[in-house]
Amino acid sequence: MTARPYPWKRPRGWWLRNPRYLSFQLREAGGVVSALYGLILLNMLLQLRAGESAYTAFLDTMRTPPMLYVNLVLFGLVVFHAVSWFMLIGKAQPIRFTEKPIPWKSAFAVNLVLWLGVSGAVVYLIFGGL
């Protein structure tokens, strides 16, 4: 055969081709935004060490509009990332606790319940309760 096979090149907008690819990109973005918040929390500790006026100035910047709206969008991505993580560890199950893999919907539900429990523990242990 003298003619070459026609080569493949992945199109730029590949992730717009179906909803699962799009949700994958949003999940990835949620992960990156989580790192961003990690840096923001680090800055918060820096401002805490600098004193009350520095800390309060930082917190006000984060909470007043339009920063509040930006934060809400970013927070939405973080929550999307968290929920998709619970779904994924239901689907992957690399460590097997039972003989057969648990159906992923059950694992997902268990993870959501665990999440509620852990969140409650954080409210009480870290933030001192209601």
Partner 1 sequence: MADRDVVFRVKRYRPEKDSKPSYQRYRIPYRDDMVVLDGLNYIKDTMDPTLTFRWSCRMGICGSCGANVNGQPKLTCGTYIRDVHRGVVTVDPLTNFPIIKDLVVDFDDFLNKLASVKPYIVREDWGDLTKEYVQYPEDIEAYKQQSMCINCMLCYAACPVVGANPHFVGPAAAALALRYIRDSRDEGADARLERLNTKSGVWECTFVGECSVVCPKDVDPAGALQTLKFLATMRHMKRLLMPKMASR
Partner 2 sequence: MADETQAPEIASMWNPGRETVHADLEAAEPEVLMEPMIWGLFSLGGFITAFLFPVTLFLLFFAAPLGLWPTDPGAFDAFAARWADPIVRLFFVVLIGGSLFHGTHRLKFMLVDAGAKSPGVQGFLDVVLNGLAILGTLGALFYALSGWLF
Chain contacts with partner 1 (rule: CB under 8 A): 1-8, 10, 14-15, 17-18, 20-21, 24, 28, 88, 91-95, 99-101
Q: How far is CA 57 from CA 62, 68, 83, 86, 102, in A?
A: 9, 14, 32, 35, 49
Indicate whether 33 belongs to the interface with partner 2 (CB under 8 A).
Answer: yes
Render the burial of 12-25: b for 16+ CB within 10 Å, e for the rest: eeeeeeeeeeeeee
- Looking at 14-66, list the stretches that DSSP marks H as alpha helix, in order from N- to C-terminal side: 19-50, 52-63
Indicate whether 70 belongs to the interface with partner 2 (CB under 8 A).
Answer: no
Q: Least CB distance from residue 43 to partner 2, whole Å?
A: 10
Site residues for partner 2 per CB under 8 A: 28-29, 31-39, 41-42, 44-46, 48-49, 52, 55-56, 59, 62-64, 68, 71-72, 75, 78-79, 81-82, 85-86, 114-115, 118-119, 122-123, 125-128, 130
